[in-house]
Structure 1
Amino acid sequence: MHEIDAVTVAKREEFYGRLKPHNMAPLWEVMKGMLPPEPKSKAEAHRWRYDDIRPLILESGNLLTAEEAERRVLILENPAFPGQSRATSTLYAGIQIIMPGEVAPAHRHTPSALRFMLEGSGAYTSVGGERTRMAFGDFVITPVWAWHDHGNDGSDPAAWLDGLDVPMIAFFEAVFREDYNDAEQEILRPEGDSFFRFGSGMLPIGGTSPYGQTTPIFNYPYERSREALYRSSRGEEIDAHIGTTLRYANPLDGGWTMPTMSAWLSHFPKGMETAKIRSTDHIVMCIAEGTGSITIGAKTFDFGPKDVIVVPGWSWRSFRANEDVVVFCFSDRVAQEKLGYFREDRAKV
Structure 2
Amino acid sequence: MSLENQRREYYRQLAGQNLSPLWLSLHNLVTESPRPTIVPAIWKYEEMRPYVMAAGELITAEEAVRRVLVLENPALPGKSSITQSLYAGIQLILPGETAPSHRHTQSALRFVLEGRGAWTAVNGERTTMNPGDFIITPSWNWHDHGNPSAEHGGEPVVWLDGLDIPLIAALDAGFAENNTVKEQAVCKHEGESFARFGYNMVPVRHKPSGTTSPIFSYPYERSREALDKLYRFEALDEYDGVKMRYINPSNGGWAMPTIGTFLQYLPKGFKGKTYRSSDSTVYTAVEGSGTVYIGEESFRFSPRDIFVVPSWYPVRLEADDSGDVVLFSYSDRPVLEAFGLLREARE
- TM-score interval for Structure 1 and Structure 2 normalised by the shorter chain: over 0.9
Q: How many angstroms apart in 2 are the aligned matches of 1:62 and 1:18?
A: 58
1:309 Cα deviation from its structure 2 partner: 0.4
How big is each residue's C-alpha offset from its partner over 1:258-291, in whole Å with a ceiling of 9 and x where there is no partner?
A: 1100001011111111100111111010100000
Q: How many angstroms apart in 2 are the aligned matches of 1:14 and 1:122?
A: 68
Query: What pairs up with 1:22-101 in 2 under 5 angstroms?
Result: 22-101=17-96
Q: Which amino acid aligns with 2:278?
A: T
Equivalent position of 1:3 in the other structure: none
1:162 aligns with 2:161: yes
Equivalent position of 2:336 in the other structure: 336
1:7 Cα deviation from its structure 2 partner: 3.1
Task: Classify 1:134/1:209 alpha carbon distance in 2 versus 1 (closer, same or farther; 3 Å).
Answer: farther
The answer to whether the Cα contact below 8 Å between 1:209 and 1:215 also exists between their aligned partners in 2 is: no
Query: Aligned residue pairs: how many?
Result: 341
Q: Which amino acid aligns with 2:301?
A: F
1:32 Cα deviation from its structure 2 partner: 0.9
The answer to whether the Cα contact below 8 Å between 1:282 and 1:331 also exists between their aligned partners in 2 is: yes
1:178 aligns with 2:177: yes
1:195 aligns with 2:194: yes
Q: How many angstroms apart in 2 are the aligned matches of 1:7 and 1:325?
A: 66
Q: How many angstroms apart in 1 are the aligned matches of 2:313 and 2:221?
A: 31
How big is each residue's C-alpha offset from its partner over 1:127-158, in whole Å with a ceiling of 9 and x where there is no partner?
A: 00000111110000000000000011143100
Equivalent position of 2:120 in the other structure: 125
What SS is found at the alignment partner of 2:2? helix
Equivalent position of 2:271 in the other structure: 273
Q: How many angstroms apart in 1 are the aligned matches of 2:130 and 2:264?
A: 19
Q: Which amino acid aligns with 1:281?
A: D
What SS is found at the alignment partner of 1:12? helix
Pick from 255, 258, 261: which aligns with 1:260? 258
Percentage identity across aligned positions? Answer: 49
Q: How many angstroms apart in 2 are the aligned matches of 1:324 and 1:9?
A: 64
Q: How many angstroms apart in 1 are the aligned matches of 2:3 and 2:165?
A: 47
Q: How many angstroms apart in 2 are the aligned matches of 1:150 and 1:332?
A: 25
1:331 Cα deviation from its structure 2 partner: 0.3
1:247 aligns with 2:245: yes
Equivalent position of 1:326 in the other structure: 326
What SS is found at the alignment partner of 2:337? helix
Equivalent position of 2:235 in the other structure: 237
Q: How many angstroms apart in 1 are the aligned matches of 2:106 and 2:208?
A: 18
1:209 Cα deviation from its structure 2 partner: 5.0
What SS is found at the alignment partner of 2:227? helix
Q: How many angstroms apart in 2 are the aligned matches of 1:22 and 1:64?
A: 50
Q: Which amino acid aligns with 2:92?
A: I
Instruction: Identify which range, 172-181 or 104-113, moves more after superposition.
Output: 172-181
What SS is found at the alignment partner of 1:194? helix
The answer to whether the Cα contact below 8 Å between 1:270 and 1:324 also exists between their aligned partners in 2 is: yes
Q: How many angstroms apart in 1 are the aligned matches of 2:64 and 2:25?
A: 44
User: Which ranges of structure 2 fall in alignment gaps of 5 or more residues?
Assistant: none
Pick from 84, 105, 130: which aligns with 1:110? 105
Q: How many angstroms apart in 1 are the aligned matches of 2:194 and 2:85?
A: 29
1:18 Cα deviation from its structure 2 partner: 1.7
The answer to whether the Cα contact below 8 Å between 2:82 and 2:308 also exists between their aligned partners in 1 is: yes
Q: Which amino acid aligns with 1:156?
A: E
Q: How many angstroms apart in 2 are the aligned matches of 1:203 and 1:162?
A: 29
1:12 Cα deviation from its structure 2 partner: 2.1
Q: Which amino acid aligns with 1:150?
A: H
Q: How many angstroms apart in 1 are the aligned matches of 2:73 and 2:206?
A: 40
The answer to whether the Cα contact below 8 Å between 1:108 and 1:179 also exists between their aligned partners in 2 is: yes
1:213 aligns with 2:208: no
Q: Which amino acid aligns with 1:188?
A: C
What SS is found at the alignment partner of 1:55? helix
The answer to whether the Cα contact below 8 Å between 2:245 and 2:263 also exists between their aligned partners in 1 is: yes
User: Which ranges of structure 1 fall in alignment gaps of 5 or more residues?
Assistant: 1-5
Q: How many angstroms apart in 2 are the aligned matches of 1:33 and 1:237?
A: 43
Q: How many angstroms apart in 2 are the aligned matches of 1:283 and 1:230?
A: 23
Q: How many angstroms apart in 1 are the aligned matches of 2:312 and 2:23?
A: 26
TM-score normalised by the chain length of structure 1: 0.96
